[in-house]
């Protein structure tokens, strides 16, 4: 039998059904692994071990009594620490909120519990989901399990590191400029930014109201669909929530890609931000893999990455300033240096800047929509480089914005990033697939076909 910590959520559910594994056995194994490995990874801000074990015992009793809570019955999930879990601090990895205890579960956590999941704890992030990997905060930065000297991506850094290291099978992150897909790319797992409005953000500390998304991080595409099924749904208390009938996101996972039209946005990594040679080679190989599987791959041109990034920057900084201005005026020293530096430009954005960015936003949305009339899914780079060393802030500052995730926060289209190989340094490189609004099922269909053909999901980091 596969070691319990490497089982997917789907495999865990089957093992419970077969009575070859129990929730308490799984939780005992995961807590032992966390105790051994997390001091090296810093994935957790707050491990809620006692509550998790109580929940595992309750889940086990329900199984024995023939009661089934839902598709995630007894399966542990880690929660990024900008998402509220009742009774636990939501610190946003910041001194500003270090004593901020949540009074209620976020909407997504409520949905997870309804599906039977067990919350195992709160996970490291970049400060307020905007700072980078920093050592001037109340908690240390998470580390990449493929090489602990390197960062694991962010801002959902603990979510990516913990899933990749086998500390828990599922995690939630948030994504405003790529913060679910960046750790998925850096840690060699699967991270999905859903369609804007598909998943409620109630109870999630905001960064940018019109760019924020909540999304799943998992080791397999099937688990990603399973977790998305649990958390999606309309929430009238979230002003950005959309009433969508989209469900059963895994219904097409076994359909393959034969006959699907995939538009390859090559200029993102060839001209706009020329990628590291290992990333470019992995993208070429991903194209060959999907073509061999029967996909019709054709070139697509979109607005430049520089244009998308400029729109994102103005909107994000403006909206973030509206949230952080009181603290930045009253308590600037309680922010870490990176978050403070990234938030302060919002003070100098004008109403004209913001309105201009929103007007241009409608035009680039139309460009992506036009492309998706001619193809079923877009394919492009995620990160242009493998992750940098934690002790090299200059290289981190250089490589961090070299990515193609931000366009789809601007447009709101669903996008998944996943492992596409290993660089010569042994660090993961990635590919991204993007689809039509509320068509996560087709995006995940392509991702699943690529996962099965390429086989990278079977590779594990050299830890523990």
CA 319, 322, 323, 325 torsion-angle sign: positive
Task: Tell me which of 8, 94, 124, 155 is the catalytic residue.
Answer: 155
Q: E strands of 109-196, at which residues?
A: 118-123, 170-175, 190-193
Dihedral, CA of residue 146, residue 148, residue 149 and residue 150, to nearest 10: 50
* Cα dihedral 240→244→246→247 (10° resolution): 80
pLDDT tens for residues 60-102? 999 999 999 999 999 999 999 999 999 999 999 999 999 999 9
Answer yes or no: 193 catalytic. no
Radius of gyration of the chain (CA): 20
Annotated active-site residue in 8, 159, 179, 200: 179
Average of per-residue pLDDT across 126-140: 95
pLDDT-wise least confident of 237-246, 335-344, 358-367: 237-246
Per the CB < 8 A criterion, the answer to whether 164 and 123 are in contact is: no
Q: Please choose, from the candidates 177, 161, 110, the residue with its C-alpha nearest in 3D space to the C-alpha of residue 382.
A: 177
Check whether 116 has a pLDDT greater than 90.
yes
pLDDT band at 245 (very low <50, low <70, confident <90, very high): confident
- Read out DSSP for 395-444? HHHHHTT-BS-THHHHH---EEEEEEEE-TTS-EEEEEEEESTT-HHHHH
In whole angstroms, what is the distance from residue 36 CA to residue 144 CA? 16
Annotated catalytic residue, options 8, 22, 80, 185? 80
Nearest to 449 by CA among 236, 179, 298, 257: 257
Say what the pLDDT of residue 131 is: 85
Q: Using the CB atoms, write b or e for 43-74: b if 16+ within 10 Å.
A: bbbbbbbebbbebbeebbebbeeeeebbbbbb
Q: Please name each of the domains of the chain with its CATH number.
A: 4-458 (3.90.1300.10)
Query: Is there a contact between 80 and 94 (Cβ–Cβ < 8 Å)?
Result: no
Phi/psi of residue 335, nearest 5 degrees: -85, 150
Q: 387 an active-site residue?
A: no
* Mean model confidence pLDDT for the chain: 97
Question: How far apart are alpha carbons 230 and 242 in whole angstroms?
Answer: 16
Model's pTM, two decimal places?
0.97
Residue 314 — very low, low, confident or very high, per pLDDT cuts 50/70/90? very high
- Contact of 44 with 204, CB cutoff 8 Å: no
pLDDT band at 464 (very low <50, low <70, confident <90, very high): confident
Rounded-to-integer distance, Cα 131 and Cα 178, Å: 13
Helix axes 221-231, 9-18, angle to 10 degrees: 80
Question: Can you tell me whether residue 316 is helix, strand or coil?
Answer: helix
- Look at residue 1 in the predicted model and tell me its pLDDT: 64
Question: Packing angle between helix 221-231 and helix 440-454, nearest 10 degrees?
Answer: 160
- Residue 244, pLDDT > 90, answer no
Residue 460 falls in the annotated catalytic set: no
| Average confidence (pLDDT) over 105-115 | 98
Dihedral (CA of 155, 383, 279, 396) sign: negative
User: What local confidence, expressed as pLDDT, does residue 2 receive?
Assistant: 85
């Amino acid at each position: 039998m596969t070691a319990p910590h490497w089982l997917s959520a789907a495999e865990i559910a089957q093992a419970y059904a077969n009575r070859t594994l129990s929730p308490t056995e799984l939780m005992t194994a995961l807590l032992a692994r966390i105790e051994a490995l997390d001091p090296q990874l810093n994935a957790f801000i707050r491990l809620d071990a006692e509550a998790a074990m109580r929940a595992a015992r309750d889940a086990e009793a329900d199984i024995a009594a023939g009661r089934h809570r839902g598709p995630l019955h007894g399966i542990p999930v880690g929660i990024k620490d900008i998402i509220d879990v009742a009774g636990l601090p939501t610190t946003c990895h910041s001194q500003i909120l270090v004593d901020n205890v949540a009074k209620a579960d976020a909407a997504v956590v409520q949905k997870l519990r309804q599906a039977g999941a067990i919350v195992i704890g709160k996970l490291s992030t970049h400060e307020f989901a905007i700072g980078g990997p920093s050592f001037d905060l109340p908690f240390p930065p998470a580390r990449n399990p493929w090489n602990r000297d390197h960062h694991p991506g962010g801002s959902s850094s603990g979510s990516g590191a913990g899933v990749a290291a086998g500390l828990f099978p599922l995690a939630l992150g948030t994504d405003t400029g790529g913060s679910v897909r960046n750790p998925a790319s850096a840690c060699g797992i699967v991270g999905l930014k859903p369609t804007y409005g598909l998943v409620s953000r109630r109870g999630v500390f905001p960064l940018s109201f019109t760019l924020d998304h909540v999304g799943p991080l998992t080791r397999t595409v099937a688990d990603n669909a399973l977790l998305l099924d649990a958390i999606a749904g309309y929430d009238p208390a979230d002003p950005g929530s959309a009433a969508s009938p989209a469900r059963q996101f895994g219904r097409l996972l076994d359909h393959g890609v034969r006959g699907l039209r995939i538009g390859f946005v090559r200029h993102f990594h060839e001209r706009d931000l020329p990628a590291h040679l290992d990333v470019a080679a992995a993208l070429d190989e991903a194209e060959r893999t999907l073509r061999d599987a029967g996909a019709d791959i054709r070139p697509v041109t979109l607005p430049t990455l520089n244009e998308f990034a400029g729109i994102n920057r103005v909107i994000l900084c403006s909206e973030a300033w509206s949230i952080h201005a009181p603290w930045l005026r009253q308590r600037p020293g309680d922010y870490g240096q990176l978050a403070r530096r990234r938030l302060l430009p919002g003070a100098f954005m004008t109403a004209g800047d913001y309105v201009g960015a929103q007007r241009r936003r409608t035009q680039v949305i139309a460009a992506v929509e036009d492309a998706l009339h001619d193809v079923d899914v877009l394919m492009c780079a995620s990160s242009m480089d493998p992750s940098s060393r934690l002790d090299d802030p200059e290289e981190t500052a250089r490589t961090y914005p070299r990515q193609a995730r931000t366009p789809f926060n601007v447009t709101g289209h669903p996008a998944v990033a996943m492992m596409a190989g290993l660089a010569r340094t042994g660090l993961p490189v990635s590919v991204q697939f993007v689809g039509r609004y509320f068509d996560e099922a087709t995006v995940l269909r392509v991702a699943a076909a690529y996962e099965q053909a390429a086989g990278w999901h079977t590779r594990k980091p050299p830890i523990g």
